[in-house]
Structure 1
């Protein structure tokens, strides 16, 4: 399997994980036996939905870019992998995996600014 596809699958799996986390969190907040007011629950849910949607969306965009061997996706994936290294132990394992396979060939369609610049 090509390295870019490995990276794309990891980022896609992480985006799916965030969607599952979001569903479980929302169900727990509204179906749980908490004594908090409905207003507090709604504020919590809105904050978490916005945060998790942003993080999951970033992973999804990186997975689409990595699948198509986009150079920006490689850089974004390296940045995300470095951030994940702090999340001991699972984030560290995912971060190391992403860093290991973040080397894919540059056979994307690049147009050189100067003729003969890309050999």
Structure 2
């Protein structure tokens, strides 16, 4: 398996993990009647990295240059999420070593 596909799989895993966590927070917020505007803003902020992980994974599969650099940037921020984020961030740094080629469209 190529390194860009391994990095894409890690981003998809991180995206699904973040989506599950965001949905659990949403369920908790609704069930405890804490539906204030701050909780809605918090959920929007939590959903942003989820979207970015899926977007970067899609770019990595297509071997886009921007996705490689976005993956490295996201890996840097993931290092702060000890212990799972740190491990996934290290693997993303390892798998960021691949030569990009723009996808040929016909």
Structure 1: runs of 5 or more not aligned: 33-37, 111-119
What root-mean-square deviation, in Å, do the aligned CA atoms of Structure 1 and Structure 2 show? 1.8
Give the Cα separation in 2 of the matches to 1:44 and 1:20: 20
Q: 1:30 to 1:107 in 2, by over 3 A?
A: closer
Q: What is the match of residue 104 of structure 1?
A: 98
Give the Cα separation in 1 of the matches to 2:81 and 2:18: 15
Give the Cα separation in 2 of the matches to 1:84 and 1:26: 22
Q: CA deviation at 1:61?
A: 0.8
1:3-18 alignment to 2 at 5 Å?
3-18=3-18
User: Residues 20-78 of structure 1, C-alpha deviation per residue, up to 9 Å, x if partnerless?
Assistant: 1111111111213xxxxx5x523243112211221111111101001111010000100
Tell me the SS of whatever aligns to 1:82: helix
1:40-51 alignment to 2 at 5 Å?
41-51=35-45
Structure 2: runs of 5 or more not aligned: none
The answer to whether structure 1 residue 63 and structure 2 residue 57 are counterparts is yes
Q: What is the match of residue 52 of structure 1?
A: 46
> Is the CA contact 1:4–1:69 (under 8 Å) kept in the aligned structure 2?
yes
The answer to whether structure 1 residue 91 and structure 2 residue 91 are counterparts is no
Give the Cα separation in 2 of the matches to 1:16 and 1:109: 26
